Amino acid sequence: MREWVYKVQNLKEKIFMEKDVIIVKNLSKNYEYYKKEAGLLGSISNFFIREKKITQAVDNISFSITKGEIVGFLGPNGAGKTTTLKILSGIITQSSGECLVLGYIPQNLEYKYQRKFALVMGQKDQLWKDLPAMDSFILTKEIYGISNEDFKKNSRELIELLGISDIVNVQVRKLSLGQRMKCELVAALLHNPSVLFLDEPTIGLDVVAQKNIRDFLKQYNEKNKTTIMLTSHYMEDIKQLCDRVIIIDKGHIIYDGKLDSLIKKYTPHKILTVTFNGNGVSKEQIKKYGFVKKYNPYAILLEVEREKVKNIAMDILSSNLPVDDIIIDEVEIDDIARQIFMEEQKN
């Protein structure tokens, strides 16, 4: 016990020294569950004999995040991203290891800590569906004990920044997904948190709404120096918002560093997507431009070296192929993660 207190104090000092807002050390989380077999017979046998299984959702991860950073937390489904966010917000308790956010142990569920952070989940809504968002904002104000002046100031600013003044008085269940997400963000930020955890904030939104939310987060972070940790499936979210990414797979951190260097190191290629009209093209006609990842006569995916991509795009455009459209893209984040993971395993 004493050792633990000592460790915590050590960590607290570390925050003070390094301005680290989030510190995670050797964090692990196991889930226990019972194996369920398929079919009726399986179900009957499960009724009598249950086999206990353990999955390691997070396995000995460590990282720290400084004030004002926006960190992208990436990885395939089930990698442990959400589990980590849940531990950092105190919803669940880790199996081993320590974490400290703003000098607090999240699992203590202290009101003091809860008034300083917010968690927004793209797939869980906290607004009352039957009421206009404004009513939920007022409820949030009371729950967090926000003063009248602060509430007025913050809500006006947030509503303006997100451009939703015309919808805050409409019943939430009549809003579109994008509008609802914007209202969720207002509700989460009313108490002006120092740390913001975002779990898939743009999931299921159309491109315009995604962009709106990204722009908002960027501005908000610049203005308030809020530390943001965000998970997303969309490469665009990460590219626009985060300087730093942490990639996690099967519970392990497999990359932690600048996004730029990640892209340079692991993706010497870019992806060229070319669509054709008319009679389309044959595989032979395009083979010379680069490695063909996907092919059909009207749309191809080419892997091209980073430095050469502009020239090759020009070549294709100026050739006599019936080009309809051409797009230059980064490799998908999931592909990068997979690639890193495979290399790790080789070593």
User: Which parts of this chain interact with another protein (CB under 8 A)?
Assistant: 31, 82, 86, 89-93, 109, 111, 114-115, 117-119, 121, 123-124, 126, 128, 130-131, 135-136, 138-139, 141-145, 171, 199
Find the shortest distance in angstroms from Cβ 86 to another protein.
5
Find the shortest distance in angstroms from Cβ 2 to another protein.
23
Find the shortest distance in angstroms from Cβ 228 to another protein.
16
Find the shortest distance in angstroms from Cβ 155 to another protein.
15
- CB-nearer residue toward another protein: 20 or 125: 125
Give the integer Cα–Cα distance in Å for 309 and 326.
12
- CB-nearer residue toward another protein: 174 or 265: 174
Contacts of 289 (CB under 8 A, 6+ apart): 272, 302, 304, 312, 315, 316
- CB-nearer residue toward another protein: 91 or 177: 91
First to last CA, the chain: 38
Cα Rg for the chain, rounded, in angstroms?
24
Please count the helices (runs of H) and the strands (runs of E) in the chain. Answer: 13, 13
- CB-nearer residue toward another protein: 147 or 318: 147
Give the integer Cα–Cα distance in Å for 183 and 167.
9
- CB-nearer residue toward another protein: 171 or 194: 171
**Coil, helix or strand at residue 117:** strand
- CB-nearer residue toward another protein: 31 or 291: 31
User: In terms of Cα–Cα distance, which of 273, 286, 346 is closest to 315?
Assistant: 286
Instruction: Indicate the DSSP class of residue 256.
Output: E
- CB-nearer residue toward another protein: 203 or 340: 203
Give the integer Cα–Cα distance in Å for 248 and 260.
17
* 189 close to 154: Cβ distance less than 8 angstroms: yes
Cβ count within 10 A of residue 230: 26
Find the shortest distance in angstroms from Cβ 84 to another protein.
12
User: In terms of Cα–Cα distance, which of 127, 143, 145 is closest to 135?
Assistant: 127
* 187 close to 137: Cβ distance less than 8 angstroms: yes
Find the shortest distance in angstroms from Cβ 129 to another protein.
9
* Nearest-5° Cα angle at 256, 252 to 204: 80
Find the shortest distance in angstroms from Cβ 300 to another protein.
39
Find the shortest distance in angstroms from Cβ 42 to another protein.
18
- CB-nearer residue toward another protein: 47 or 279: 47
Give the integer Cα–Cα distance in Å for 259 and 325.
28
E strand or H helix at 236: helix 235-241
* 19 close to 66: Cβ distance less than 8 angstroms: yes
- CB-nearer residue toward another protein: 123 or 347: 123
Find the shortest distance in angstroms from Cβ 166 to another protein.
20
